[in-house]
Amino acid sequence: MKLSITKLAGGLFLLLGMLYGMTGVGAAQTGAEVGVFEPIEVPPGAALQVPVSIRNVEALYAIDIEIQFDPALLQVEDAAPNTPGVQVGIGTFLDAGLILYNDADNDQGVIRFAMTQVNPSEPKSGEGVIVVINLTAQGEGESALTVSFAEASTRQGEAIPITGVNGVVTVSSGAPDQPATDIPVQDPQLATLIPTLAPTLEPTMTATPQPTPTPKAVVEEAGETPDTPAESPGEEGAPAIEDEGMTVGEDPEEEVEDIEAAEESEETGAGILDYWWVVLLVVLAAGGTGAYLLLSKKRA
């Protein structure tokens, strides 16, 4: 009896193990990957289409990727001539929706693409082409197609773990001529481009300048009437200041000299009148002396 129970338990564990392996529960899962999965070799001057694909993804709704390349060896051809700038083609894996970025910089060798589906589009799972890059081979060499940035999200905005896979394009004169493949792309007019604004600097707090009081305001504060404007001395074009004993337009230095002379004359006249008794004594002394001399002559 004990042996039969042991055999039964072992058989149950074996059955559970088989079911466990068949369902894949607990098995290592391969995360989503995006990039260029196959190496490419072309001769100089060749035109080629490079698919940027995604695989092993679940419930994808939006994606944002950046790819770098060598601009000395490769140049991106515009996939939407009616739109300003240089764009890549929209792949068929996601439904065309809202595009935040679709820009290829041939000077820096950078491609940026960010897009999200919109209702009523459903999330996508599995594998497919995200974008198609139209390239023209330039000088000979090897250019990596490096996925320098990649983010993916679900319809609810939850992040999907994703890994970038770098590709390579070799430009060699010994490469065989291959007919250009036509990879399906969507009409760019089906997507809506959302202009993204550059970040703005935070405003710097500056003190508000205070208005400088005008001469009229200064006069009013001093208690003078606005009818008599105050002018700063030495200001060009300012009217001459009228003072007692002075007329408008006269030289102030000459007026000062005249006033000082008048004051001196007034002081001189006042001094003589104040000492009238001295003058009287001088006159009496002179008269006395004359009388004395006259009497002396008569006696002689």
pLDDT in tens, 171-195: 999 998 877 678 999 999 999 998 7
DSSP for residue 271: H
pTM, 2 dp: 0.58
Burial 58-68 (b: 16+ CB within 10 A, else e): eebbbbbbbbb
Say if CB 152 and CB 63 are below 8 A apart.
yes
pLDDT in tens, 156-176: 999 999 999 999 999 999 998
pLDDT in tens, 221-265: 444 444 444 444 444 444 444 444 444 444 555 555 555 555 554
Alpha carbon of residue 28 to chain centroid: 47
Contacts 24+ apart (CB under 8 A), 283-291: none
Category of 126 on φ-ψ map: left (φ > 0), alpha (ψ -120 to 50) or beta = left
pLDDT band for 25, please (50, 70, 90 cuts).
very low
pLDDT in tens, 88-114: 999 999 999 999 999 999 999 999 999
Say what percent of the chain tops pLDDT 90. Answer: 51
For range 47-59, the mean pLDDT:
97
Alpha carbon of residue 235 to chain centroid: 44
For range 134-154, the mean pLDDT:
96
H helices within the chain, ranges in order? 2-23, 215-221, 252-274, 276-299
Tell me what pLDDT residue 45 has: 93
